[in-house]
Amino acid sequence: MSDLLRRAWTVARKDLMLEFRTRTALLSAVVFTALVLTVFNFGRDPTAVAPLDLAPSILWVTFTFAAMVALNRAFQLELENQALEGLLVSPLSRYSLYWGKLVANLVFVAVVEAVGLPLFVLFFDVPVGRVVLPLCGVIALATLGFVTVGTLFSAMVIRTRFAELMLPVLLLPFLIPPLVLAVLATAKLLSARPLSDSAGYLKLLAAYDIVFLVAATFLFRFTVDE
Q: What residue ranges bind other proteins (CB under 8 A)?
A: 3, 7, 10-11, 14, 17-18, 21-22, 80-83, 85-92, 149, 152-153, 156, 159-162, 166, 169-170, 172-174, 176-177, 180-181, 184, 200-201, 204, 207-208, 211-212, 215-216, 219, 222-223, 225-226
Q: How far is the CB of 46 from other proteins (least distance, A)?
A: 23
User: What helix, strand, coil percent values describe the chain, rounded to 5?
Assistant: 85, 0, 15
Q: How far is the CB of 55 from other proteins (least distance, A)?
A: 15
Q: How far is the CB of 64 from other proteins (least distance, A)?
A: 15
Report how far apart, in Å, the C-alpha atoms of 184 and of each of 123, 191, 199 are: 21, 11, 11
Length of the chain (residues): 226
Q: Which is nearer to other proteins, 88 or 119 (CB)?
A: 88
Q: How far is the CB of 143 from other proteins (least distance, A)?
A: 16
Q: How far is the CB of 69 from other proteins (least distance, A)?
A: 18
Q: Which is nearer to other proteins, 70 or 184 (CB)?
A: 184
Give the residue from 2, 209, 226 showing the smallest Cα distance to 96.
2
* Distance of alpha carbon 36 from alpha carbon 32, whole angstroms: 6
Q: Which is nearer to other proteins, 34 or 88 (CB)?
A: 88
Cα torsion 167, 204, 121, 64 to 10°: value is 0
Residue 158 contacts residue 224 (beta carbons within 8 Å): no
Q: Which is nearer to other proteins, 37 or 158 (CB)?
A: 158
Characterize 151-171 residue by residue with b for buried, 16 or more Cβ atoms within 10 angstroms of its Cβ, and e for exposed: bbbbbbbbeeeebeebbeebb
Q: Which is nearer to other proteins, 131 or 167 (CB)?
A: 167
Q: Which is nearer to other proteins, 140 or 163 (CB)?
A: 163
Compute the C-alpha angle 111/116/120, nearest 5°.
160
Q: How far is the CB of 77 from other proteins (least distance, A)?
A: 8
